[in-house]
Amino acid sequence: MSLPETFISCDWGTSNFRLRVIHTDTLSVIKEYSSSQGVKEVYQNYTDQDQLDKSSYYAKFLEEKLMSIVDLNQPHIVVASGMVSSSMGMYELDYTSTPFSAEGNDILSKRISISNNVQMLITSGVKQGDDVMRGEEVQALGLAKYLQDVDKGVLLLPGTHSKHLQFEANIFHQFDTFMTGEMFDMLTKHSILSNSVKKGPFDENNRSAFKEGVRKAVAEGLSKNLFKVRAKALLDNRDSTESFYYLSGLLIGDELSYLKEKQDKVCIAASGMLNQLYQLALAEVIEDKDRLVFFKEDILEKALLIGQKKILEKQYECV
Amino acid sequence: MSLPETFISCDWGTSNFRLRVIHTDTLSVIKEYSSSQGVKEVYQNYTDQDQLDKSSYYAKFLEEKLMSIVDLNQPHIVVASGMVSSSMGMYELDYTSTPFSAEGNDILSKRISISNNVQMLITSGVKQGDDVMRGEEVQALGLAKYLQDVDKGVLLLPGTHSKHLQFEANIFHQFDTFMTGEMFDMLTKHSILSNSVKKGPFDENNRSAFKEGVRKAVAEGLSKNLFKVRAKALLDNRDSTESFYYLSGLLIGDELSYLKEKQDKVCIAASGMLNQLYQLALAEVIEDKDRLVFFKEDILEKALLIGQKKILEKQYECV
């Protein structure tokens, strides 16, 4: 059975929701709808009512949003990844276990009828003994295409919960989660350091402060250096924006420090500010520049679509 | 000039305030008043009014509290340490620089008249190039008495911001701050881990979970293991109280891990639950038990009074 001409990509995280009508062949985006109505908010709204069961409630929500970008009198298939398959999401799927193939064969998916015309493919997350992810595995499937020349290494997906995926010969065999983004958010908002740091433009001074933070974390670790962010502000009146980037450097440096001693290639896919910061940090941590593979900004964006298309293809192969 | 028969110990932190009438000779507590009116709250209240200047506002506050435990028609001397000498406190004193003698000679103090009958000695904090403390240095002066047999080592004062003070031959020459207590508080309240952890009694199971956390942090560091607290809860349904103590073990283990490779003695003074946890953790981290010196619970309580008495003595020597 041949693939449909378009599919609808659904990226449904804890606090974000995005639908995109995708041209299957070229992966170009035809239409888009996005909002902050992540699984957390929708689940909360679902528990606040008692008329619909969970899957009906989510299906109604989805149909309402779909209406704004497609004609529901035509058939559609939605490929959904992220927290939508968690216990708070639309339909809970168990995790696939590591290792998983970059071809997408191992990722579980579940087909659900939303209405006569709308079918949905929900994909599972991945677990290993002591870690879990939901969503990043589909990005990883998409990025695999660009990893073929690398053969063996670690793929970094920075974010609120950064993921480091070890891969070899097209197999992702192990991964770790680092709470770097969430820690930074907490420390700048809820800790004693919040008085010493202030977001600001990333100029040359702040760049140096960031790199200093990275080097400090790699040399001495995080825990001895965290409070010194405040001490420096008190004693040296260090500029609060410099302190902001110094703290960011400490946290990202701490996340990356274990890579210093390895021999593997390190590939990284991120966009915007995160991309800039992680590329700078990796250049500080890893001396041998041949070990570094930086993906272009738009590749991560595309990776999710490539990954979702792989899931879709497996489904059509089986039919 | 001889010391007064009694003095008033004032321990004024960010979020606590305590006055105790102390018998100077025996250091026994005659009367006590305490509240949560730390410097943070009092400073806020001061800025919300415009009738009194800062030192008058603090003096009035102090007099009102003193009234409840002493007769203000008699002369009194208050020895105050903690955040009271910070910019938010009653009277800002600059930090003393490291090194500082355990005899108390280096700690700055400022004598202030609160009223005709009430004099106050405010003590400064201590700084080095990249770290600061206010309050713990007075505890350290008090503990020095018990460190005489040790000669060289590191003194641990666990808490919201744990301090590790390096000492040798009665001189404190360097220190570090670890945000362990604050991090634990933030992670259990404001992070994604908050759903996976729950405070509960410290039974045998939780003891094992705590020790496992310590070992894990020492072996692999904190950042790779933090998110696994959630993963374990999701995948193995690990009991949330076990996870609470496992997380505590990770954080304390991370704080202590650098001590593993040193040869110095490690002395620790804490009370209550913290004392129990740090003693357990140190026993996991440090193989050579001869390196460990655990102080009895009541010694820390006494240390502040001994330290404040030292400050008082210096003042009377100078008069």
Q: Which residues contact A232 (CB under 8 A, 6 or more apart)?
A: A196, A238, A243, A246, B130
Which of A95, A191, A228 lies at the smallest CB-CB distance from B130?
Answer: A228
The CA–CA distances, whole Å, from B282 to A271, B244, B252, B303 equal 43, 19, 9, 22
- Kindly state the tokens that stand for B172: 């404190």
pLDDT at B319 over 70: no
In angstroms, what separates the C-alpha of A76 from chain B's closest C-alpha?
A: 33
Test B132 with A235 for CB contact under 8 angstroms.
yes
Which of A176, A190, A230 lies at the smallest CB-CB distance from B224?
Answer: A176
Test B224 with A258 for CB contact under 8 angstroms.
yes
Q: Mean of the pLDDT values across residues B67-75? A: 95
Which of B183, B192, B224 lies at the smallest CB-CB distance from A178?
Answer: B224
Side chain identity, residue B265: K
Under the banding of pLDDT at 50, 70 and 90, the label for residue B253 is very high
Testing the interface with B: which of A136, A175, A192, A227 to mutate, by most B Cβ within 10 A?
A: A227
- Cα B118 to Cα B75: distance, rounded to the nearest angstrom: 6
Test B222 with A222 for CB contact under 8 angstroms.
yes
Test A224 with B258 for CB contact under 8 angstroms.
yes
pLDDT digits (tens, 9 = 90+) for A77-112: 999 999 999 999 999 999 999 999 999 889 989 999
pLDDT digits (tens, 9 = 90+) for A244-287: 999 999 999 999 999 999 999 999 999 999 999 999 999 999 99
In what helix (H) or strand (E) does residue B245 lie, and over which residues does it extend? Answer: helix B240-256
Residue B241 sits at the vertex; the CA angle it makes with B239 and B247, to the nearest 5 degrees, is 105
pLDDT digits (tens, 9 = 90+) for A33-42: 999 999 999 9
Query: Which residues does chain B have within 8 Å of residue A230's beta carbon, measured at their own beta carbons?
Result: 132
Strands (E), B107-248: 109-113, 118-123, 126-128, 131-133, 152-157, 162-168, 171-178
- Kindly state the tokens that stand for B195: 């759903």
Q: What is the ipTM of this complex?
A: 0.91
pLDDT digits (tens, 9 = 90+) for A98-151: 999 999 889 989 999 999 999 999 999 999 999 999 999 999 999 998 998 898
Would you tell me which residues 234-253 of chain B have a C-beta closer than 8 angstroms to some C-beta of chain A? 234-235
Which of B177, B222, B231 lies at the smallest CB-CB distance from A131?
Answer: B231
Which of B179, B190, B235 lies at the smallest CB-CB distance from A226?
Answer: B179
* pLDDT score recorded for residue A298: 87
Testing the interface with A: which of B163, B177, B190, B227 to mutate, by most A Cβ within 10 A?
A: B227
Test A190 with B187 for CB contact under 8 angstroms.
no
A111 touches chain B (CB under 8 A): no
* pLDDT score recorded for residue A300: 87
Query: Which residues does chain B have within 8 Å of residue A161's beta carbon, measured at their own beta carbons?
Result: 192, 227
pLDDT digits (tens, 9 = 90+) for A160-177: 999 999 999 999 999 999
- Kindly state the tokens that stand for A25: 């062949």
Q: Which domains does chain A have, with CATH numbers?
A: 6-149+299-318 (3.30.420.300), 179-286 (3.30.420.310)
Q: Which residues contact B116 (CB under 8 A, 6 or more apart)?
A: none
* pLDDT score recorded for residue B318: 56
